[in-house]
Amino acid sequence: MVYLDGEDKEPLKTNSAKIQIYLIEKDWNWGSGIVNLGLAFLKINPSPETVIADVDVRLLVENNGDDYTNFVNYDVIFEVSNHKVGFITDSIGKMNKKERITKTYHKTILLKEVPNLVWNAIIEWNTGWEIKYDNLNYEKFN
């Protein structure tokens, strides 16, 4: 890695970014999903395009290392009963040392994205709705 003149305060010291991601808020908005669950419970089959839930998520991405990074990539994973029902891949450009960025995501979960096993758990109200991140990748300077 080549720094611009004066950009690296300690040019003889090996530095590295340290990216961490924290879940700030998650909101599973059921909206019409409750009606759709009721129809399914009554054995009235909704369309595969039926909305089960709308999900809003806020994440905090922090660089707690002692150097900047030119990129950060990661996936935001949406799970129901430990089964992945959707994901969003995101990228952030350069993050400076000690920089904090709040990111907001929205995902609509459709019936066709929910496996039968998970759908049965939803109908029985035996679910865990979770947000995770995975595949975190960023540039480290060694």
DSSP code for 33: H
- Measured CA angle at 101 (ends 97, 102), to 5 deg: 160
Q: How far is CA 79 from CA 49, 87, 118, in A?
A: 18, 9, 10
Residue 36 · residue 52 · CB < 8 Å: yes
Residue entry with tokens 């799970």: 79
| Tokens coding 108 | 């609509």
pLDDT in tens, the chain (142 residues): 455 555 656 666 666 899 999 999 998 876 655 556 566 556 566 677 878 788 999 999 999 998 899 999 999 999 877 888 889 999 999 999 999 999 999 999 887 877 665 566 666 665 678 899 999 999 876 5
Amino acid identity of 86? G
CATH number of 19-138: 2.60.40
Q: Where are the domains of the chain?
A: 19-138
- The pLDDT tens digits for 111-129 are 787 766 556 666 666 567 8
pTM reported for the whole predicted model = 0.76
